[in-house]
Amino acid sequence: MYDKNLLSSKEFYPLFKKITIFTKMTSAFIKKEAKRQFSQFSD
């Protein structure tokens, strides 16, 4: 019999890390794009 909590945390943590990195990259990209769009409008 295996420890369900151990398995789920081992599976979950790398996925969580990937999601966190992806979210940070996405939000950074959105901010950059928003700034770019905004500067185009203000011309």
Burial class (CB in 10 A: 0-12, 13-18, 19+), 42: exposed
Q: Is the pLDDT of residue 23 over 80?
A: yes
Q: What are the CA-CA distances from residue 3 to residues 10, 11, 13, 43 (Å)?
A: 11, 13, 16, 60
Residue 1: pLDDT band by 50, 70, 90 thresholds?
Answer: low
DSSP-based three-state secondary structure for 1: coil
Mean pLDDT to the nearest integer, 16-24: 95
Residue 32: pLDDT band by 50, 70, 90 thresholds?
Answer: very high
Round to whole Å and give the CA distance between 6 and 1: 12
The whole-chain average pLDDT of the chain stands at: 84
Mean pLDDT to the nearest integer, 21-34: 96
> Any idea what the Cα angle at residue 34 is, between residues 29 and 40, rounded to 5°?
130
pLDDT at 36: 92
